[in-house]
Structures are given as C-alpha cells and as structure tokens.
Amino acid sequence: MQIFRDVRSLRAGIAALRADGGRIAMVPTMGALHAGHMALVARARALAEHVVVSIFVNPTQFGPREDLAAYPRREAQDAQMLEAGRVAALWAPSVEVMYPQGFSSSIHVAGVSEGLDGDWRPGHFDGVATVVAKLFGQVRPDIACFGEKDFQQLAVIRQMVRDLDLDVEIVGVETQRDDDGLALSSRNAYLSDNARAIAAALPETLVMAGEAIMAGNPVADIIAEATEHLIECGFDSVDYLALCDVGTLAPLASLDRPARLLVAARLGSTRLIDNIAVNP
C-alpha cells in the first residue's frame, strides 16, 4: 500500500492505478478505523479493482464545542488495518494541504442538510460537502462508499453529486453493529463501561419504535414514548427522534412512503446517532 501526503504525488499514484486498468473506489474516513470502516473497504474492493482510503480529520465539520482536539488519531494502526484489507493507496493529507493559506470556498447543500443534525450542528454539513468535493477532485474515484449510519451525511453527498454533475457513483453500505446492536462508531471509545451498557438501548428503542409505527400506531405518540423511554434508560437527553422521507429527509407525520427513523441522543459528553429503515 502506498501512502500519499501531497496532491502531486497522489495524482501520480492515481494515474499509475488507472494505467494498470480497472475502476477506483474510494472510502473517505477520519481515521480511528474499526470494523465498520473495514466493511466499507470490503464493499469498495468488491466493486472496483483498486481501493483508495483517505484519512483526514476535517476541522471544518467540527463545531466550536465539539471534539476536534480529542478526536482519536492513530494513523500507524489504521495503516496496518488498511494494508491487511488490501487497500492500494492511503491518502493522508495535513490540514495545510487540504486548506492552504487563502482557502475561502465552501459548498452548501440546501434541503437535506437542514433539520436533524443540520439544526444541532450548524455548518457541519457545509464542512462535509466541501471536504468530500475536494477529496473527489483529488482522487477522482469511479465509486465512493459511505456508511448508512450517517444517513443525513449520505443524503447530502448524494445531493451534491447530483447537483454538481460529479462523475462518481455513491454507494451506501449498511450500518455495522456490535453484538448488542449498537452502531459501530469511533466515538464509542469515549463511553464508560456504564454508559456503554446504557447505549445498547438506542438501537433497541429504534427497532421497537419502528415496529410500532409500521403496525399503524400514530407516529407522534410513538416518537414521544420512545424519547421518554431513552431518558428512562439513562440517556441524558435526546436531540431528535424523527421519521423522515428516505430521499428528502422531510419529516413525516404518517408512514405513507419509504422512510427512515433517525435519532441522536447524548450520554454524558458523547453524542450517539443511529437510524433504521421504516417502510409502509
């Protein structure tokens, strides 16, 4: 596996992969890799002859009270995992490479970036869209794989690719979960043993709420009950629990089309998100 840290050498490496033939699939990450990321790598490897993974902790998608400085960074360990996963290239730029002096551009994707995390993390999806657009411009992949755990992020990227006519196929990969159902996330490492036990109630509550909605119970009632249940289980607060259109993420008062049930809840200083499909 080759490791690139500047755009010129990256583009030379990508050109060599192109000359070797076949498609290139990309997996953008912020590092601190776990089994969820490696599932994305495996999916990318199944879809293309060459896989490129990026590791970049993107400062523009962190809010002023979020955990940029504390975000786990362990590139050497990540590189070993990617080598074992038969990744062709690791793109690991610095902040100075990604945002050189004088950088002043930003991408805003309206609609799907509003509500849900868009309300709770102002500017977050502008940072996501901008860095992903840059990564696509640098690597120029044929395919890019993203996890469905960050479902709103996936919707934002799909909309951006459509709007800007970017020639990359976006593939959503099913959320990878621990044995107790909790979605795998780098932020799970922040949980104490007690908080980790409480966290398992998040996917359990989502599933119960989704089943109740699909059984025809009033959406507003189920959401209120599920929110109360999470607090009773030990969560400190629930930022949102919402049923949304699977494509636009517009909130739904009834289950009259394919939907997604999305949640964000807090345990101490750790914020957990999750979602499941809910269909009529």
CA distances from 217 to 71, 129, 205, 228, 261 (A): 40, 37, 15, 17, 14
Among candidate residues 37, 50, 108, 124, the one labeled active-site is 37
Q: Tell me if 31 is assigned to a ligand binding site.
A: yes
211 marked among binding-site residues = no
50 annotated ligand binder: no
Residue 37 in marked binding region:
yes
Determine contact, residues 186/30, Cβ cutoff 8 Å: yes
What gap in Å lies between CA 108 and CA 259, rounded to an integer? 24
Query: Was 228 annotated as part of a binding site?
Result: no
Q: Is 2 annotated as a binding residue?
A: no
108 assigned to a ligand binding site: no
153 among annotated binding-site residues: yes
Q: Is 37 a catalytic residue?
A: yes
Query: Can you read off the two tokens belonging to residue 277?
Result: 């499909």
- Where residue 242 falls (left for φ over 0; alpha for ψ -120 to 50; beta otherwise) is beta
First CA to last CA across the chain, in angstroms? 46
195 is known to lie in a ligand binding site: no
Cβ neighbors of 15 (< 8 A, separation 6 or more) are none
Q: What is the C-alpha to C-alpha distance for residues 36 and 274, in angstroms, rounded to an integer?
A: 13
Annotated binding-site residues for beta-alanine read 61
Annotated binding-site residues for ATP read 30-37, 147-150, 184-187
Annotated binding-site residues read 30-37, 61, 147-150, 153, 184-187
User: Which positions are catalytic?
Assistant: 37
